[in-house]
Amino acid sequence: MAVENTGAPAGAPAPQEKGKQQAKSTVANTPATTGGDAAGEQKLTPAQLKAKAKAEKAARRAKAKEVKEVPPAAAVADAKGGKSGKGGKQEGSQSAGSQQQGKSVPGRRPSVNGRRPSVAIIKEDPRSSIPECFSHVAMAKRIQTSQAHKDVHPAVLAVGQQMATFALKDSIARLEATLLAFKKVIESYETPKGNSLSRHFVPHVLNPQIEYLTECRPMSFSMGNAIRFLKSQVNKFDIDTPEDEAKESLLEFIDIFINERITLAEVVISKNAAELIDEDGVVLTYGRHRLVEKTILRAKANGKSFAVSVIDDPYDQGGKELAKTLQQAGIRVFYSPNLGGVRAHLERASNVLLGTEAIFANGSLHAPAGTADVAMAASAANVKVVALCETINFDRERVSVDSLTYNEIDPERCSAESFRLMFDNTHSKYIAGVITEFESGTDFAPAQAILTLLRKREDPTIA
């Protein structure tokens, strides 16, 4: 059957029906239709207009849902729009948005309305790039306070954050800050009913503090020794010892420990080491160490005239600050920014003073990376090398023959290409002697004699 442009069957209809059909044909040929066919005519009926409005409303809901949800919801909205017969601009805008999301930067989650979705960003563990053969070497890390154990004291939390960011870097500075924080822990401690301080304090209160500090940064040797002494002091209390008496005893023990093993030891070592500096001599040192700095300033205060050669660590650059301090004190200073100038400076040096982090039972020095190079170069040039160290930094139980057994990885210089060790190991044969708080005058003990020095401290009657 033939069909006219109006969509009516061929034939001779009544004049009234023909007029209505012509009117419909005129409306159907307007730009609102897609071609004037039967489907275009049906869109203008009330039922189809209602269906079209309903479809548009559903599409708007789907689009609003797309903004709140993750990007895959956009595909659902497009599917709904296609089924509802929405044409023209609305469908085109949705497909354009989908294409724009498809062009997102690889490796990133696409943004919604210019904002990133609120999802947790997983940071890559810096240790993942370290070769497995070095996986045993520790590294400092900053732990969020919300992830710490609920029993960790706020004072200990603050100390841990300072250690992790290297605001507290020196081993003795970390030790003193730790002991002062433990004093606050003891002051706020209350023994639960049915328990005693000697049985409850260490496992339930002190150990969580120690574990948190160790997670932030590996404990220094001095911290390990001090904590061992503190635990032994707690174990001495009888189960019936009153809480106030036990707490007062612990606080007094910490005060005496800081005074004798840190403050007085520093004074005695700097005084004895200052006598080793020759008049009109040249002292060579590496980096910046607290004991070496106090020794040089004390020698200057004693009226000696001498010069100082500072070989700096190119990564830490603490020697630059030491050089400025010594210059302000009126001391002549020679400065080298790295180890490249060590041999030239050793030609005029009369002795070498080195600071250490710890000394092992076999006399090996655990010191900042680069110390071993200076000691070996000085030994080859026949220049006397003297190490300064408190006995609290002695380790009587362990020995070390390399730099890989006990060390730390610098978290600021760790990548897939390389990483830096913070300490090195200096063999005792390159060290002429060690000055501690037990020597007097210009005397100093061999590096291998630390066990004898420790026994002498425990029993002063030993000659």
Structural domains of the chain sorted by starting position, each given as residue range(s) with its CATH number in brackets: 132-265 (1.20.120), 275-458 (3.40.50.10470)
Where residue 63 falls among pLDDT bands split at 50, 70, 90?
Answer: confident
- pLDDT score of 429 more than 50: yes
Q: Residue 102: count other Cβ atoms within 10 Å of its Cβ.
A: 10
**What is the residue whose two structure tokens read 């120690």?**
210
- pLDDT score of 96 more than 60: no
- pLDDT score of 29 more than 60: no
Q: What is the C-alpha separation between 208 and 149, in angstroms, rounded?
A: 7
Reduced to 3 states (helix: H, G, I; strand: E, B; else coil), residue 370 is: coil
Joined together, the tokens standing for residue 359 give: 């000394």
Note the pLDDT of residue 132.
77
Where residue 92 falls among pLDDT bands split at 50, 70, 90?
Answer: very low
For 226-255, what is each residue's pLDDT tens digit?
999 999 999 999 999 999 999 999 999 999
For 316-360, what is each residue's pLDDT tens digit?
999 999 999 999 999 999 999 999 999 999 999 999 999 999 999
- pLDDT score of 216 more than 80: yes
Where residue 44 falls among pLDDT bands split at 50, 70, 90?
Answer: low
The more confidently predicted of residues 450 and 423 is: 423
- pLDDT score of 146 more than 80: no
- pLDDT score of 427 more than 50: yes
Note the pLDDT of residue 296.
98
**DSSP bridge partners of 394:** 359
**What is the residue whose two structure tokens read 């023959």?**
401
Where residue 127 falls among pLDDT bands split at 50, 70, 90?
Answer: low
- pLDDT score of 443 more than 80: no
Note the pLDDT of residue 65.
64
pTM here is: 0.71
- pLDDT score of 461 more than 60: no
The more confidently predicted of residues 133 and 223 is: 223
The pairs formed by 76-79 with CB atoms below 8 angstroms and a separation of 24 or more are none
- Range from 38-42, 49-53, 138-142, 375-379 carrying the lowest mean pLDDT: 38-42
Note the pLDDT of residue 126.
60
Note the pLDDT of residue 111.
47
Closest listed residue to residue 266, CA positions, set 246, 291, 286: 291
Q: Give the type of residue at 214.
A: T
Mean pLDDT score, 208-219: 94
Mean pLDDT score, 393-403: 92
